[in-house]
Amino acid sequence: MTSPTSTPSQLQQLKKLTTVVADTGDFERMEEYQPQDATTNPSLILKAAQQANYQALVHQVKSAHPGMKPVELVDYILVAFGLEILKIIPGRVSTEVDARLSFDTEATIQKARHLISLYESHGIDRNRILIKLAGTWEGIQAAKVLEAEGIHCNMTLLFSLVQAAACGAVHATLISPFVGRITDWHKTKLGSNWSDAIHGGANDPGVTSVKRIFHYYKHFGIATEIMGASFRNTNQILELAGCDLLTISPELLGDLQKSTAVVEKKLDASQAASALASEQISPLKLDESSFRLQLNNDAMATEKLAEGIRNFCIDTDKLELIISE
How remote is the C-alpha of 279 from its chain's centroid? 26
Catalytic positions:
132
Q: Are 45 and 85 in contact (CB under 8 A)?
A: no
Helices (H), the chain: 10-15, 27-30, 42-49, 55-64, 70-86, 105-121, 137-148, 161-169, 179-190, 196-199, 205-219, 234-238, 250-258, 272-279, 288-296, 299-324
Strands (E), 68-117: 93-96
Q: Which neighbouring-strand residues pair with 167?
A: none
- What pLDDT does residue 3 have? 52
Contacts of 88 (CB under 8 A, 6+ apart): 27, 30, 31, 38
Q: Are 70 and 312 in contact (CB under 8 A)?
A: no
Total number of residues shown for the chain: 325
Contacts of 166 (CB under 8 A, 6+ apart): 135, 137, 140, 286, 291
- What is the pTM for the complete model shown? 0.94
- Span 152-171, pLDDT tens digits: 999 999 999 999 999 999 99
Question: How far is Cα 180 from Cα 240, in angstroms, rounded to an integer?
Answer: 12
Provide the pairing of β-strand 225-228 with 174-177. parallel
Question: How far is Cα 112 from Cα 100, in angstroms, rounded to an integer?
Answer: 13
Q: Which neighbouring-strand residues pair with 134?
A: 156
- Span 22-40, pLDDT tens digits: 999 898 889 899 999 999 9
Contacts of 314 (CB under 8 A, 6+ apart): none
Provide the percentage of residues in the chain whose pLDDT is more than 90: 86
Question: How far is Cα 40 from Cα 35, in angstroms, rounded to an integer?
Answer: 14
The domains located in the chain, with CATH, are: 10-324 (3.20.20.70)
What does the pLDDT profile of the chain (325 residues) look like in tens digits? 555 568 999 999 999 999 999 999 898 889 899 999 999 998 989 998 899 989 899 999 999 999 999 999 999 999 999 999 999 999 999 999 999 999 999 999 999 999 999 999 999 999 999 999 999 999 999 999 999 999 999 999 999 999 999 999 999 999 999 999 999 999 999 999 999 999 999 999 999 999 999 999 998 999 999 999 999 999 999 999 999 999 999 999 999 999 999 999 999 988 876 766 666 678 999 999 999 999 999 999 999 999 999 999 999 999 999 888 8
